[in-house]
Amino acid sequence: MPISLYRRRIAATVIQLAKDDPSLVKEVIARLRESGEIEADDLVYLDRIADRWMKIAEDNGRHTASTYPRQARG
């Protein structure tokens, strides 16, 4: 497998993980920064993707809550 294809697959997997579990991705990035394994500006793009998907999840949660109000107990 050519290295460029491998890198694209890894990037796609990481981006999908940022969509599926953005809080995990943000936590791992924060740990890597704290430990000094990556520079402060490394993985900014991935951090932004995780932020975006966290906001989408929050918006979806609010939308769902307002779409299906609780039924009054009688």
pLDDT tens per residue across span 12-45: 998 898 889 999 999 999 999 999 998 888 889 8
| Residues in the chain, overall count | 74
Percent of the chain with pLDDT over 90: 28
Neighbour-count burial of 7, counting CB atoms closer than 10 A to its CB (0-12 exposed, 13-18 middle, 19+ buried)? exposed
Neighbour-count burial of 30, counting CB atoms closer than 10 A to its CB (0-12 exposed, 13-18 middle, 19+ buried)? exposed
